[in-house]
Structure 1
Amino acid sequence: MTDLVRAPGPVVMGVLNVTPDSFSDGGRYADLDAAVGHGVRLRDAGAHLVDVGGESTRPGAERIDAATEADRVLPVIRALTAAGVPVSIDTSRARVAEAALGAGAVVVNDVSGGLADPDMARVVRDAGCPWVLMHWRGHSRQMRELASYGDVVADVRAELSQRIDSALAAGVAADRIVIDPGLGFAKTAAHNWELSARLPELLDLGYPLLFGASRKSYLGGLLADADGTPRPTAQREAATVATSVLAVAAGAWGVRVHDVRATTDALAVWAATGSPRLTAGTEREGRR
């Protein structure tokens, strides 16, 4: 398949949670046929990768054991691979990642950035596959209390830099690394917006960046009713599309979304308009 890390256009990663408790679609695709059918639909809608996850990482979620996680994802990965669907595995466990790669997955999407399992770097290095290193400070039960920063962008940048250095020291090739700012993971809504507004500072690290805002609670808060009730997850698609296109225009390598069709349609419009890029405010002012 095409080397997605070097893809010339934005990569769209479609979300496929085979879990009973994910924040947006938990339980909808726990059945093998439902999961595979949805994965094929995501590919047909334009997803370059279908990201299969077997453990919920929503705030407050309880951990499951590795055997349960593997039992959820491996049959789905095998079936999707057989159907010609490129798959990434969304896991922080080296054991699960290794089994998933053996079943046909081609990318490891690690929300812990390698911190949760020290053996993950070996698995990725030996496989030679792309590795998404997300900014992370702790598992779901802890993440709310860990959302404390001086300057969130500077702190996330520094901590991602540490994860990159660790991966390189373990022998992972530089051209296999993708970074992710980890929106919503030990982040408040204000942190998420600040990271979104200052993506170029993270891109200065020199690595492709995956942006994953899809349906997250800070979008629901932005779109809350007059009484403060957050917009339900299924009604956050327009906001998801807007954040995704803005991220790509700022230089993001790819976006991770639930509704692939809406995102690919919007990115087609962006491309047809000449793929315009966002410009920092100070630069705009300098040209007036």
Structure 2
Amino acid sequence: MDEHAHPSPVGIRRPSLVGIVNITADSFSDGNRFLSPTAALAHAHRLHSEGADVIELGPAASSPGAEKVTAAEEVRRLADVIDQLVADGIAVSVDSYRPATQRFAAARGATYLNDIQGFDDPARYEELADTGCRLVVMHSVQRHGPATKVRTDPTVVCRGIDEFLADRLAALEAAGIGRDRLVIDPGLGYFLGSSPEPSLRTLAGLERLKARFDVPVLVSPSRKSFLRTLTGSDVSGIGPATLAAELYAARSGADYIRTHDVAALRDALTVFEALESAKESGW
């Protein structure tokens, strides 16, 4: 399955849309709304019907101050939800850096494993190679669990993203994980620091990042702290800023966009493509 190739009539590659389902008590944007399997499944099916190519299940929050959740609790939260989605033929990604949770997800049919620590244990690479899952290798200034508030220099961050991804991709490939299974995520928001500048610089440099690594790129500006700081909006009012950042990412060639509001992004992309098509037709 190659979800990230959806050509428009004028050759623009529509990104795959990854719908976020937080099965958590304290996610910054929607904590406790989808903690029960019934609520999580209803939301996942709604996002899929709105155009999500992939449903990403997050069994623990990674925002600053989030509670620590054991692997056993992550598995408990995931079990009924992932089983039903896989049975329904829906591509599932699981967002967890815990090895036990990743093993569980792979065994239950997850298509993607998304690790905010970027798969930092080489001793597990042989095991990961055997899963067959696609791996979303995420960069973070903080690679030891939930994000913390740090201030960082944008130039240093961007250089660190390049160095980290180059080293990590080389190590994963050397362990026998095919490049066609790898997706990179430069990280945004608190994963890059508490000020907006590193995230803005990273998003603005997306085309360069794609050219540098020549693998699919996933980004997730949805409701992130850098947008809230930049606009002065709270989570409830951050939709327009999120959509602007997502459209910028799509125009810059993002292969996957991970979002809370699939319908809004789907419609915006449809209008964007229609306008591009009209422009190409010489109206």
Q: Same fold (TM over 0.5)?
A: yes
Contact 2:26 2:67 in 1 (8 A): no
Q: Which residue of 1 aligns with 2:74?
A: 69
Check the 8 A contact 1:153/1:201 in 2, yes or no: no
Kindly provide the CA deviation profile for residues 178-206 of structure 1, in whole angstroms up to 9, marking residues without a partner as x: 10011020323111111111112211211
Residue from 122, 134, 139 that aligns with 1:135: 139
Partner of 1:157: 162
Aligned partners of 1:43 and 1:49 also within 8 Å:
yes
1:274 aligns with 2:276: yes
- On the 8 A contact 1:11/1:48 being kept in 2, the answer is yes
The two structures, once aligned, show a CA RMSD in angstroms of 2.0
The alpha-carbon deviation at position 5 of structure 1 amounts to 5.4
1:167 aligns with 2:175: no
2:130 is equivalent to residue 122 of structure 1: no
* Deviation for aligned residue 1:142: 6.0
State the 1:110 CA deviation. Answer: 1.2
Change (3 A) 1:220 1:149: closer
Indicate the residue corresponding to 1:234 in structure 2: 236
State whether structure 2 residue 213 is matched by structure 1 residue 205: yes
**1:42 alignment partner, SS class:** helix
User: Which of the numbers 214, 224, 231 marks the counterpart of 1:223?
Assistant: 231
| Corresponding residue for residue 2 of structure 2 | 3
Q: What is the rounded CA distance, in whole Å, between the counterparts of 1:100 and 1:6 in structure 2?
A: 25
Letter in 2 for 1:105: A
Q: Aligned partners of 1:138 and 1:114: how far apart in 2? A: 10
- The match for 2:192 is 186
Give unmatched runs, 5+ long, in structure 2: 8-13, 279-283
Provide Cα deviations, 1:52-92, integer angstroms capped at 9, x if missing partner.
Answer: 01011112323221111111112210122223322111111
Residues 265-286 of structure 1: CA distance to partner in whole angstroms, max 9, x if unpaired?
A: 111122223389xxxxxxxxxx
Which deviations, in whole Å up to 9, do the C-alpha atoms of 1:234-261 show, x marking residues without a partner?
Answer: 2211111111111111111110000000
Deviation at 1:150, TM superposition (A): 4.2
In the alignment, what sits opposite 1:283? none
Inter-partner Cα distance in structure 1 for 2:276 and 2:173: 35
TM-score by length of 1: 0.86
Alpha-carbon distance between aligned partners in 2 of 1:39 and 1:46, rounded to the nearest angstrom: 11
Measure, in 1, the Cα distance between the counterparts of 2:49 and 2:213: 33
More off after superposition, 139-148 vs 170-179: 139-148
| CA–CA separation in structure 1 for the residues paired with 2:103 and 2:231 | 40
Q: Which runs of 5+ in 1 are unaligned?
A: 225-230, 277-288
Q: Is residue 263 of structure 2 the alignment partner of residue 256 of structure 1?
A: no
* Aligned-pair CA distance for 1:7: 5.7
Code of the aligned partner of 1:241: L
Report 1 or 2 for greater relative contact order, CA contacts < 8 Å, sequence distance ≥ 6.
2
Kept in 1: contact 2:119–2:137 (CA 8 A) = yes
- State yes or no: 1:30 paired with 2:29: no
